[in-house]
Structure 1
Amino acid sequence: MNSNPSPSNSSRFEGCTLTGALSVTTEVRDALSVIHGPAGCTHHNFSLLHATHLANDRLEVPRLLSTRLTENGIIFGGEDALEETVAQALSLSPAAVFVLSTCIVETIGDDVAAICAKRRGVPVIPVPTAGFLGGVFETGVTNALSSVASLAGPADEKTLSANLIGEKNLEYGVEENAAEIVRLLSRLGIAVNLRFVRGIETRDIGRLGSAAVNILREPALRPVGEDLERRLGTPYVDSFPAGLTGTCRFLEEVGRICGIDATAAVEEERAHQGEMLSRFDDIAGSRVCFQSPHPMLRGDPGAEGICTECAEALDLAVDPEGAAIPLPYPAPVGTAGLRRMLHRWRVLIREKRRG
Structure 2
Amino acid sequence: MDISNTQWHAKTKASPATSYRSNTDTNQNNARNTQVSVSSLAVKLKEAQQAIDAARLNQQSFPQNNNVLTWQAQSNQEKINSAKWEFEQLSKPQLETIAMDPSNTFSKAEKTAAYEKWHALDQRALSELKRNALNDDNAMTSFEAALYTHSQTFSELGKAMLPDDYLSQAQSHFESALQDMNLSAHTMSNQAEHYYSLMVTDLFAGNEPKVHNGAEGMSSHNLERSNYDFLTHKGRFMLADMYEYAEKSGIDFEYIQKLASDIGNYRRHDDGKLLSNFNEGHFNTEGQKLTVGFTQRDQASIDRLMNNGALSSSALDAGFVSFITDPGLGALSHQGSYQFLAHIAEVTAGIATSDSATEFKTFTEASSINDALCHDPI
> Common fold, TM-score beyond 0.5?
no
- Name the one with the larger helix percent: 2
Bigger radius of gyration among the two: 2
Structure with the higher strand share, 1 or 2: 1
Compute the TM-score of the two structures, normalised by the length of structure 2. 0.21
Larger RCO: 1 or 2 (CA < 8 Å, sep 6+): 1
Q: TM-score, normalised by structure 1?
A: 0.22
